[in-house]
Amino acid sequence: MAEYLFLVPLFPLIGFLINGLLIGRLPKPLITLIGCGSVGLSLLLSCSLFFELKALAPEARQITQTLFTWISVGQSPDQFHVSIGYLLDPLSAVMILVVTGVGFLIHIYSIGYMAHDNGYGRYFAYMNLFTFAMLTLVLADNFLFLFVGWEGVGLCSYLLIGFWYEKKSASDAGKKAFIVNRIGDFGFLVGIFIIFWSVKSLDFMTVAARAPEVFVFGGSLVTAACLMLFLGATGKSAQLPLYIWLPDAMEGPTPVSALIHAATMVTAGVYLLARTNALFIMAPDALMVVAIIGALTALFAATIGLAQNDIKRVLAYSTVSQLGYMFLACGVAAFTAGIFHLMIHAFFKALLFLGAGSVIHAMSNEQDMRNMGGLKKYLPITFSTMFVATLTITGIPLFAGFFSKDEILWKAFSSGTNGAWYFWLIGFVTAGLTAFYMFRLVYLTFYGKERMDSKTKSHIHESPRTMTVPLMALAVLSAIGGFIGMPHIFGVTNYFEEWLSPVMSGPAHDMAEHALASGGHSATMEWLLMAASVVLVLVSIWMAYYFYRKNTQASTSLAEKFLGIKTTLENKYYVDEFYGAVVIRPVIYFSLFLWKFVDVILIDGTLNGLAKLWRDVSDALRYSQSGQLRSYATIFTVGVVLLIAWIVFGINHG
């Protein structure tokens, strides 16, 4: 089976080629078959590969397949050699299962959601291309090939955000996502350069193996490389300060938001950190930066999420916040917890987005929650599945999100890093905020008065089977997915940690363990913290219930009391405006200066001036061109006379 590894990304690519090259020529059922079938085949293959990997001994769980040499410079192995190769290890196995699994469900969902769209074929072509790029990203065995996938998903993100390109806001959002990501990609590239410069290889295995010999623990070089990689991750995964593109990315079709901007692509940054854990573990300063950024993003985005009224934007800020959690986990060197939360988040956030899509579908493209309400009885399946997802994200015990989130909080608390307590506190507060805004969403959307107009109301209907079945599948995953990674204090094996342990070990980790004294904390403490967070979540839910269900007047009066805070939150802390003033305005003015002065006056002026000079000179000279043969002949003769005179007399006397 292992030799068919390359087929996993190849199926969606073939699907993309067929659908993309024959846009508008295939009948809809065929498009559906190709679009979903290719991802489905990838899913089946991924599953069988997973079981094959599982059958191997834990230390030997590594399947590599090198297809061909891509770039080769020089003879010695120290010179630049990059191959197109795939690496399947426990980490990438988890990722391909998430990508193909969630991706397949979202493809199925799209059949119903996009059924009446004119760009049906284009949509599935892009989605398949995205799946291909994402699989390339997670399966690549070296940095450069990963970067290809990285850019590929960025491209697809751009294409799909701007899918309804007739809409100005959609195409603007696509451009914004693309441009903001350029900043991150610049950092990523510099990181790759540093790594190649010092390690002389871009292969993940080689880099991980050689890192302890090449780098000094905590040295500036490895810190710089890690910070640059993290800059790339902040761009792709929408962390501070580059998160601004993600909320705007909600202009795309909702399944796109679910697949790309919640479940898979935005988690690429977390994957990158986990993939290069051997480097990060050697740079505690970089890890500290990651943890701080992650924690701040989690809190920051959650507060914005409190005051948003667009259902998709709430989810977008929630995604940013949850991604912050994952980075927090990576920042305290708990990569396993980060990946675990990544997987669980992929389930429940995809579910939330798809549920929101179902609501929007039912509401005739209305996205403002203030115009919804009481949808529970109209959309029973959507409601119940979304409710499961909400319970999961808020961290109700025994739902998957509870395990993954508490794992992160506990790791943050128990890690030996400085200020671990603060990280825990921020995560703790964020958990409360998350519970509040998620239940606010549920109450505003599904309970209370029916605030929509009558025309919309008459159209409300539960979504077709193709949309509800993926919802139910994801609901099951969100509910029970957590049992594979239960904490030790429950007295069961943490299968997930065990599964990923071959990836999260190695010489670099041994080295780090010597340097970092792990803070020993008792199981009692863990129980205590867990209980605290459950209590906080329940209090938050009750507050949401109080403000948005029981006593809706209270929320308005509270909002009036803290009007300043409310407007600030509604305007997302004016970050976009701040960037506009600090970054975009100067760039525009500088471009204007370049255009109006440097280009038009300096460059064009010089060139036009030169051209005009020659024109004037030629204008004066052209009268010598009389067109008269005899005049030319005379001038020629004069020339000959002078030339002979110069030769004869000049040489004689010279």
Partner 1 sequence: MVPTSAYLILAIILFGIGTVGVLITRNMIVLFMSIEIMLNAANMVLIAFSKALNLVDGHVIVFLVLTIAAAEAAVGLAMIVMVYRNRETVNVDRFSLMKW
Partner 2 sequence: MNFELIIFGISAVIAVFGATMMIAQRNPVASVLYMILSLIAQAVCYVQLGALFLGVILIVVYAGAIMVLFLFVIMLLNLRGEEASEQDTPAVSQFTKYVFSVLLTLELVFIVKAASLDSVATQVADQVADGFGSVRQVAQVMFTNYLYPFELTGILLLVALVGAVVLAKRERDSYSSATDDADDDRSERVVE
Would you tell me which residues interact with partner 2 (CB under 8 A)?
626, 628, 630-631, 634-635, 637-638, 640-641, 644-645, 648
Using the minimum distance from each CB to partner 2, give the nearer residue, 515 or 648.
Answer: 648
Of the candidate spans 47-55, 56-64, 530-538, 619-627, the one that interacts with partner 1 by CB under 8 A turns out to be: 619-627
- Select 76 or 628, whichever has its Cβ closest to partner 1: 628
Q: For residue 87, what is the enclosing H or E element? A: strand 81-88
Q: Is the peptide bond preceding residue 241 cis, with omega within 30 degrees of 0?
A: yes
Residue 620 interacting with partner 1 (CB under 8 A): no
- Residue 629 site contact among partner 1, partner 2, none (CB < 5 to 8 Å, cut-off depends on kind): partner 1
Q: Which residue among 75, 365, 524, 628 contacts partner 1 (CB under 8 A)?
A: 628
644 binds, among partner 2, partner 1, none (CB under 5 to 8 A by kind): partner 2
Q: What is the C-alpha separation between 493 and 498, in angstroms, rounded?
A: 8
In the block, tokens 């901007």 appear at 261
Question: Helix (H, G, I), strand (E, B), or coil: what is residue 363?
Answer: coil
Q: Which of 633, 643, 644, 645: binder of partner 1 (CB under 8 A)?
A: 633
- The answer to whether residue 622 forms part of the interface with partner 1 (CB under 8 A) is yes
Could you say which of partner 2, partner 1, none residue 645 binds, taking C-beta under 5 to 8 angstroms by partner kind?
Answer: partner 2
Nearest to partner 2 of 531, 645 (CB atom)? 645
Closer Cβ to partner 1, 458 or 625, answer by number: 625
Q: What, of partner 1, partner 2, none, does residue 72 touch, CB below 5 to 8 Å by kind?
A: none
The bridge status of strand 63-72 relative to strand 81-88 is antiparallel
| Binding-residue pattern over the window 205 to 234 for partner 1, x denoting contact by CB under 8 A | ------------------------------
Single out the residue of 574, 634, 639, 642 in contact with partner 1 (rule: CB under 8 A). Answer: 634
Q: Binder to partner 1 among 166, 629, 651, 652 (CB under 8 A)?
A: 629
Angstrom distance (rounded) from CA 119 to CA 256: 14
- 622 makes contact, choosing from partner 2, partner 1, none, with CB < 5 to 8 Å by partner type, with partner 1
Residue 637 contacts partner 1 per CB under 8 A: yes
CB 245 within 8 A of CB 177: yes
Helix, strand, coil distribution of the chain in percent, nearest 5: 80, 5, 20
| 309-334 residues labelled b (16+ CB within 10 A) or e (exposed) | eebbbbbbbbbbbbbbbbbbbbbbbb
Q: Looking at beta carbons only, is 571 or 625 nearer to partner 1?
A: 625
Token pair recorded at residue 357: 């899509």
Q: How far apart are CA 155 and CA 185, in angstroms?
A: 12
Measured distance CA(318)–CA(315) in Å, rounded: 5
Instruction: Choose the stretch contacting partner 1; rule: CB under 8 A; options: 194-202, 219-227, 497-505, 618-626.
Output: 618-626
Residue with tokens 């802390």: 573
Complex with partner 2: residue 75 or 624, whichever CB lies closer: 624
Q: What is the 3-state secondary structure (H, E, C) of 278-301?
A: HHHCCCHHHHHHHHHHHHHHHHHH
Closest approach of partner 1 to the CB of residue 637, in Å: 6
Element (H, E) at 72: strand 63-72
Terminal Cα distance for the chain, rounded: 92
Q: Token pair 């071959």 is at which residue?
A: 502
The distance of closest approach from Cβ of residue 122 to partner 1 in the complex, given in angstroms and rounded to an integer, is 58
Task: Identify which of residues 564 and 627 has a Cβ nearer to partner 1 in the complex.
Answer: 627
The nearer residue to partner 1, 179 or 638, going by C-beta atoms, is 638
Give the C-alpha separation, 189 to 152, whole Å: 15
Q: Which residues of the chain form contacts with partner 1 (CB under 8 A)?
A: 622-623, 625-630, 633-634, 637
